[in-house]
Structure 1
């Protein structure tokens, strides 16, 4: 836990300093902090912290829930820093995917405990895809995968950051994937359900890339998307 790299998003400078001091005392690393959406998202993309602490009330037009929605798309784990909020904000919060909530005011021990429990649960729940490519071994989070594409006896593994050409068949890699989060839409494609941007008549879109959908898969895919 001591090497966990944390980014703080908090609009109250005194609270931000208190959090940073407390976390450093516990052996955590702080890679930055911000009090507004724009600065926070830019620096988070640059520093790629392990965990983000997100205050709901921020300076500027966009708040912590707006930031959380972006972090969900980036598959970046985060915890909310919260005080009592209005029903509309709570409704928006429920539509995001935080690891948990740290309620203000908090103690140093409470802060540490919330972070440790949330991070432990996150790591235990995380699933990976492992493979060798170009004489190197890779272990990537399944949540990072956009889709897999068959290529003869090889397979492309596509993520938001890069593509991997793996000397294994699509069928071989499929055995490692969480069947509740991935679906084979075509004999040559397996997609991450959470990454689908749009569903068309005979295809779907992920990051502006069009992927075919077989007739036999349409009904099941629609059912899974409605329930995701």
Structure 2
């Protein structure tokens, strides 16, 4: 891939500047910085960084763990910037899914190596779906997919940013997906379990779109949601 885009969330301006300077020196791109939850979350949504560095202690009422929870839901990878902290915060940290931890104080080489190792592991673990649509070839992360929807012998691949009409059947595309993260809810739909916002009697909600759930799939879907 090209230059890695990193967003820095750090409440100490000196540390933030030091990180930015060190990463630029090693060829990384810095797409933004913030010292609080609100600014960081707003800009991350706009700038779509590849990786976020998240200090646990931030200015304001919400800390880095609150931001990490949002990043988990958005499937945006991040590393914590940490120093010793209280047991309650550590317990909350354990409930999130960071790529790793960069312990303060850190050296320039330590910072770089932590990022390189974490990113390499992340990319090796990441899964993709490749397909042709409108005479173009696409390769997108499976974690970006909200759901698949059948359309005759075609299939829509829906992400939060756009939809692709693919000249393949739902059965064919679904067979390419990670079966632990995607499931069939209806003869015309395959959904990303991590994107489900709520489950109703006969439907579920993903990105404010109501998707039908067949009677035969209800119990299985509830079990899968409890495990995911």
Q: Give yes or no for TM over 0.5.
A: yes
Hey, what does 1:135 align to over in structure 2? 135
CA distance in 2, matches of 1:99, 1:15: 21
Shift of 1:191: 0.4
TM-aligned CA deviation for residue 222 of structure 1 = 1.3
Q: Is the 8 A contact 1:2 1:26 kept in 2?
A: no
Q: Structure 1 segments of 4 or more deviating over 2 A?
A: none
SS class of match (1:58): coil
- After TM superposition, the structure 1 stretch with the greater mean CA deviation from structure 2, 151-160 or 82-91, is 82-91
- Structure 2 gaps of 5+ residues are none
Deviation at 1:46?
Answer: 2.1
Q: Name the structure 2 match of 1:160.
A: 160
> In the TM superposition, what whole-angstrom CA distance separates every residue of 1:121-158 from its partner, at most 9, and x where no partner exists?
11001111111111111111100111111011111111
Provide the residue aligned with 1:23 in structure 2: 23
Which residues of structure 1 form unaligned runs of 5+? none
Distance 2:116 2:41 in 1: 24
Determine whether 1:100 maps to 2:90. Answer: no
TM-score, normalised via structure 1 length: 0.96
Residue 182 in 1 paired to residue 172 in 2?
no
Helix, strand or coil for the counterpart of 1:42?
A: helix
- The separation in 2 between residues aligned to 1:48 and 1:212, in whole angstroms, is 30
Q: Deviations over 1:12-56 (max 9, x none)?
A: 011111111111222211112111111112222222111110001
Q: Residues 89-128 of structure 1 correspond to what in structure 2 (within 5 A)?
A: 89-128=89-128
Q: Give the conservation status (yes or no) of the 8 Å contact 1:2–1:28.
A: no
**1:38 counterpart = 2:8:** no
SS at match of 2:143: helix
For residues 211 and 32 of structure 2, the distance between their equivalents in structure 1, rounded to whole angstroms, comes to 38
Deviation of residue 92 (structure 1)? Answer: 1.6
1:190-212 C-alpha deviation (Å, 9 max, x unpaired): 00000111112222111221111
Q: Which moved more, 1:174-183 or 1:194-203?
A: 194-203
Q: Which moved more, 1:120-129 or 1:213-222?
A: 213-222
Q: Secondary structure at the match of 2:67?
A: helix
Q: Deviations over 1:181-228 (max 9, x none)?
A: 000111110000001111122221112211111222122211111111
- Please say if residues 11 and 34 of structure 1, whose CA atoms lie closer than 8 Å, have aligned partners that are also in contact: yes
- TM-score, normalised on structure 2? 0.96
> What's the Cα RMSD here?
1.3
